[in-house]
Amino acid sequence: MTTYPHLLAPLDLGFTTLKNRVLMGSMHTGLEETKDWNRVAEFYAERARGDVGLMVTGGIGPNLEGSVLPGAAMMTTQTDIDNHGIVTKRVHDAGGKIAMQILHAGRYAYGPMCVAPSAVKSPISPFPPSELDEDGIEKQISDIVATAERAKQAGYDGVEIMGSEGYFLNQFLVTHTNKRTDRWGGSYENRMRLPIEVVRRAREAVGTDFIIIYRLSMIDLVPNGSTFDEVVQLAKEIEKAGATIINTGIGWHEARIPTIATSVPRAAFAWVTKKLMGQVGIPVITSNRINTPDVAEDVLATGCADMVSMARPMLADAHFVAKAAAGNGAQIAPCIACNQACLDHTFSGKLSSCLVNPRACNETELVIETATTPKSIAVVGAGPAGLSAAITAAERGHKVTLIDRADEIGGQLNMAKQVPGKEEFWGLVDWYRTMVAEMGIEVRLGTEATVETLTGFDEVIIATGVLPRDTAIPGQDGANVHSYIDVLKKRSVPGKRVAVIGAGGIGFDVSEFLVHQGDSLTENLPDWMVEWGVSDPGEHRGGLAPEGSQPDAPARAVTLLQRKAEKHGKRLGKTTGWIHRAALNMKDVQFVAGVNYERIDDDGLHVSFGEARENPTLIEVDDIVMCAGQVPDRSLADALEQAGIAHHIIGGADVAAELDAKRAIDQGTRLAATL
């Protein structure tokens, strides 16, 4: 008897059966754009080997005007069909099934050719769209339908028609973006005409034995979004038009409510999909922040959906389903919903990967092979860099000894997990613990590595991490000054008024920690919804609470300072920086930029502004927390150097500037793959 009876149950679609209830949701990884079709095929085939029930590709454009950006992958020629055929064959050979997502971006298309129901510019794009005339609309329909036909010719098992997230079809549905007065606008019947027509004609073109998933926005999270009655009406019509499955879309891209970030509670929107259950006869998929087999099983067992979509978790572990089925759920590398190596890369024009799994999208390039000569390897430092190196080396057959002076593994991850909204880091440390045991790594905790203890190993890897930077501010040795480490480890408890020096990732995290009181909202969905102003779309259009966000009062008055005269959080993650800023704004954190730190005394922190050190100001606070960055901890590496013992340096001990877990894990894995 499996622990996941609902998750692993087959899903009979009539003409075909999916082997389980897991959909790998669409991700724009940038792989298709590399034009290295062997690499694309291997990415999907690896996930097919991991037993996922059905996969959806990244969004493929039906034409130039509808593509997300110039150069984005399209399916318009015989060459496209042939290239995609490489992918579908490899997936089928691996026993998997795959659908191609057809994505028409409408006014979200990043280019001057973009088109939309009305000429209403999106707040997240610099390009005003052109309003389509009747012929233009007909062209879009036939291009989408022709794309579906080509997908079938390329061997796909189906298509997903993207109708949510504020893209083209979604733009027709709501009055905010559809101002038309012809048969494509005005009444809701008219506004939903386009999505229905697209599905109807796509079904006509591809025949009956082909999956058509329609991704339907169930909670728009934008002003004047759809009501739930409209959602149900559309879903029923989409079913009649010939869709096989309805997938859930949550929030438009321009919504100012986080929907997939790590601070969003797990399965936060499954209740929205549940409202549609029983209203249509075809299977319904739910989505967003479902990242473990237990959460997925619970979502299905409680009747929220017929199937779950997990996208990023399939980057973190291609063998998610196979491991769950084999009873090895603890070995699934967890997606921590950080966006750092996936969405942040996509939005910076870089190829996606995964912070936890650097092999994601690099399957053909970063190959972990059994070592020809097993070696004895010492790894000093059990933070993300050291852990990744140790696990990869052990996986390759090396005999690994992992040493850390701390009495637990995890390094800086143990601090991150203390921050409200970063609870996923607990799971990441647990996973490392499981894998260290699984790989038979000898662990010496509470142990200071020395030149003597490291003598005799074939390879020595130094991953000793970082030390807080000395800011040399006069008065920094006072009793009212604390390091971020002491605060996050709760060795220091600052008073009610706090100044935080340094507004990098850690300054933001520490500020969040300081203003927060009570349980983390990430573990309390109703309170999280109140804080962000999310409501039932059955009660309020688009699921926006009329009273807006209703945050609790902050636990402390926090001032977050930086010397740079730029906007706070400018260098945080591209897709998450705005969430961190909004969260602190809600708690009245004062952002002060362009300061010089003059001195600290019992009255607080004295600063001045600008190069001329003008406008001397006292920030009256009880305590000051130092979050001023890090420097490499090289003491052991230097001693080894002097003793003439060869070693490799990785992670923060190598380069501390802008170090994050993504770089540390990548470097550790890549080094161990070569030893």
Residues with catalytic roles: 167
C-beta closer to ligand SF4: residue 238 or 337:
337
**Rounded-to-integer distance, Cα 46 and Cα 90, Å:** 9
| Of the residues 465, 507, 543, 604, which one makes contact with ligand NAP according to CB under 6 A | 507
Give the Cβ contact number of residue 553 at 10 Å.
8
| 42 vs 344, beta carbon nearer ligand SF4 | 344
Alpha-carbon torsion, ordered 307, 308, 311, 315, to 10 deg? -100
| Phi, psi torsion values for 556, nearest 5 degrees | -145, 160
- H helix count then E strand count, the chain: 23, 27
Beta carbon of residue 250, minimum distance to ligand SF4 (angstroms, whole number): 16
Structure tokens at 148: 């579906």
Nearest to 381 by CA among 390, 370, 369, 372: 390
**Residue 52 near ligand SF4 by CB under 6 A:** no
Among 564, 570, 599, 613, binds ligand NAP (CB under 6 A): 564
Least separation, in Å, of the C-beta of 367 and ligand SF4? 19
Does 659 bind ligand NAP (CB under 6 A)? Our answer is: yes
Among 497, 563, 574, 647, binds ligand NAP (CB under 6 A): 563
- Calculate ∠ Cα 650-651-655, nearest 5°: 95
> How many alpha carbons lie under 13 Å from residue 556 in its C-beta half-sphere?
22
Our finding on whether 476 is near ligand NAP (CB under 6 A) is no
Residue 339's binding partner among ligand SF4, ligand NAP, none (Cβ under 5 to 8 angstroms by kind) is: ligand SF4
Report the residue from 24, 116, 162, 338 that binds ligand SF4 according to the rule CB under 6 A: 338
Question: Could you write out the DSSP letters of every residue in 381-432?
Answer: --SHHHHHHHHHHHHTT-EEEEE-SSSSS-TTHHHHTTSTT-THHHHHHHHH
Kindly give the pairing relationship between strand 98-102 and strand 211-219: unpaired
* Stretch of residues binding ligand NAP (CB under 6 A), selected from 16-24, 396-404, 562-570, 582-590: 562-570
**337 near ligand SF4, judged by CB under 6 A:** yes
Of 326-334, 386-394, 539-547, 626-634, the segment contacting ligand NAP by CB under 6 A is 626-634
Return the number of the residue (306 or 509) whose C-beta is nearest ligand NAP. 509
69-77, 292-300, 312-320, 654-662 -> range binding ligand NAP (CB under 6 A): 654-662
In whole angstroms, give the CA distance from residue 596 to residue 589.
19
Interface pick for ligand SF4 out of 235, 255, 355, 560 (rule CB under 6 A): 355
Neighbours of 399 (CB within 10 A): 16
d(CA 102, CA 66): 10
Rounded to the nearest 10°, the torsion over CA 165, 166, 170, 173 is: 130
CB of 577 to ligand NAP, least distance (A): 9
577 belongs to the binding site for ligand NAP (CB under 6 A): no
Among 354, 441, 534, 671, binds ligand SF4 (CB under 6 A): 354
Residue 337 binds ligand NAP (CB under 6 A): no
Alpha helix (H) residue ranges in 277-338: 293-301, 312-316, 320-325
312 binds ligand SF4 (CB under 6 A): yes
Site string for ligand SF4, 124-163 (x = CB under 6 A): ----------------------------------------
Under rule CB under 6 A, residue 383 binds ligand NAP: no
Q: If binding is defined by CB under 6 A, does position 665 make contact with ligand NAP?
A: no
Check if the beta carbon of residue 383 is closer than 8 Å to that of residue 416.
no
The residue range among 110-118, 144-152, 330-338, 488-496 that interacts with ligand SF4, by the rule CB under 6 A, is: 330-338
Q: Are 543 and 535 in contact (CB under 8 A)?
A: yes
99, 161, 341, 378: residue in contact with ligand SF4 (rule CB under 6 A): 341
- Is residue 661 at the binding interface for ligand SF4, with CB under 6 A as the rule? no
Q: Report the residue number, 345 or 556, with the smaller CB distance to ligand SF4.
A: 345
Which of ligand SF4, ligand NAP, none does 507 bind, CB closer than 5 to 8 A by kind?
Answer: ligand NAP
State which residue, 381 or 505, has the beta carbon closest to ligand NAP: 505
The closest of 336, 164, 356 to 261, measured between CA atoms, is: 336
Phi-psi region of 30 (alpha: psi -120 to 50; beta: other; left: phi over 0): left
Residue placing its CB nearer to ligand NAP in the complex, 584 or 659:
659
Position 387 contacts ligand SF4 (CB under 6 A): no
Ranges of beta strands (E only) in 470-548 are 481-483, 497-501
Q: Which is nearer to ligand NAP, 491 or 567 (CB)?
A: 567
How remote is the C-alpha of 643 from its chain's centroid? 44
Tell me if 263 contacts ligand NAP by CB under 6 A: no
Q: Which does 116 bind (CB under 5 to 8 A by kind): ligand SF4, ligand NAP, none?
A: none
Give residue for tokens 């006069």.
474
Chain-centroid distance of CA 127 in Å reads 26
Options 40, 276, 304, 503; binder of ligand NAP; rule CB under 6 A: 503
541: helix, strand or coil: helix
Summarize as ranges the residues that interact with ligand SF4 (CB under 6 A).
312, 315-316, 335-342, 354-356
Summarize as ranges the residues that interact with ligand NAP (CB under 6 A).
340, 469, 471, 501-507, 509, 562-564, 573, 627-630, 658-660
